[in-house]
Amino acid sequence: MGETSTSKWMRRALQLAASGPWPDPNPRVGCVVVAPDGTVVGEGFHDGAGTPHAEVEALRAAGDAARGATAYVTLEPCSHTGRTGPCTDLLVATGVARVVFAQSDPNPDAAGGAERLHAAGIQVSGGVLADEAAALNERWARTVVLGRPLVTWKLATTLDGRSAAADGTSQWVTGEEARADVHELRATRDAVLVGTGTALADDPRLTVRMPDGTVAPHQPLRVVMGLRGLPAGARVHDGPGDVVRLETRDPREALDTLWRSGVRDVWLEGGPTLAAAFLDGGLVDDVYAYVAPALLGAGRAAVANLGIHTIADALRLRLVDVAVVGGDVRIHAVPAHDDTVGADAPALARP
């Protein structure tokens, strides 16, 4: 059987939604307004925090043609007032006859739009291409559940688990191709975080750079947490974009501060001490490990003491992907869970 018109228009709304940015405090949403004769009279997508919602853009484009039309929206229209008014009120005011949405809003502060539209006499149906819509906003939905930014821990290590040699040198554990891969992934987050120990020892720039060494147009927020001061000439201050100092050693406090500032996706590149603090707090959601086929036999471990004394207490990960990147291996893993934690638990947990 061919695709129904309802699925067709929702799929178009999903294509529009994918044009929206991530990371962003808000979900990516698309909207298509279709007149009773099947003509598309308005389209829109949400272009990030502070911009009009997808429904607003689509209804603005539709104008008077929205009356009696059907609005296809990838996420249940919001019923609360944030930076903008409720989309449900605008849908009612413009005379839309029917609203079809894909995914119910997982945010309790914004949910309830379907009931509000139904109470206003608008025909409402949901669940159309819901899985596709959920996949589009999977990372955003996880932040809603967690109430904090997602944290991806990146590490580079030798085969014997060393992130630096005995003399403290650590540049470079992995090869050029692996480092370029890190920059590509770093660019997909809205903050990169290290501790003052790493900032002082390695003097990193924390910018996203292109393969030719030039600075990329988009730069994540550069964040350094810890109590020690940084010299004025530290390289983290070089380059475009903003730098934030968080004078705390508490990972949860740092994430709370970043959350309030709108950060939703953090790339953690700190040293072994900071990594251990995030891991011990259950605050790591993804891991990218770059493993070089090299042996040091001594030197700094990739992660500090986690207080684990027996194999039964090991922090377990579930393998997602393994790839050869140049002369190194990239391992992507996510938390593994037992029955006491729950299969849907979002952060690393000790059995």
C-alpha 244/C-alpha 252 separation (Å) is: 16
Within 8 A by CB and 6+ apart from 85, the residues are none
Number of residues written out for the chain: 351
13 closest CA partner among 104, 75, 105: 75
| Strand boundaries in 269-308, DSSP class E | 286-292
CA–CA distances in Å: residue 168 to residues 19, 202, 292, 300? 44, 10, 17, 7
Burial degree of 100 (CB within 10 A; 0-12, 13-18, 19+): buried
> Is there a contact between 243 and 139 (Cβ–Cβ < 8 Å)?
no
- Name the catalytic one among 55, 57, 76, 269: 55
* Beta-strand relationship, 30-34 and 70-75: antiparallel
The alpha-helical segments, DSSP class H, found in 208-304 are: 251-260, 272-280
- Assess whether 55 carries a catalytic annotation: yes
Lay out the sheet containing 243-246: strands in order across.
243-246, 221-225, 191-195, 265-268, 150-158, 286-292, 328-335, 317-325
Return the residue matching tokens 């999903």: 14
The residues that are catalytic are: 55
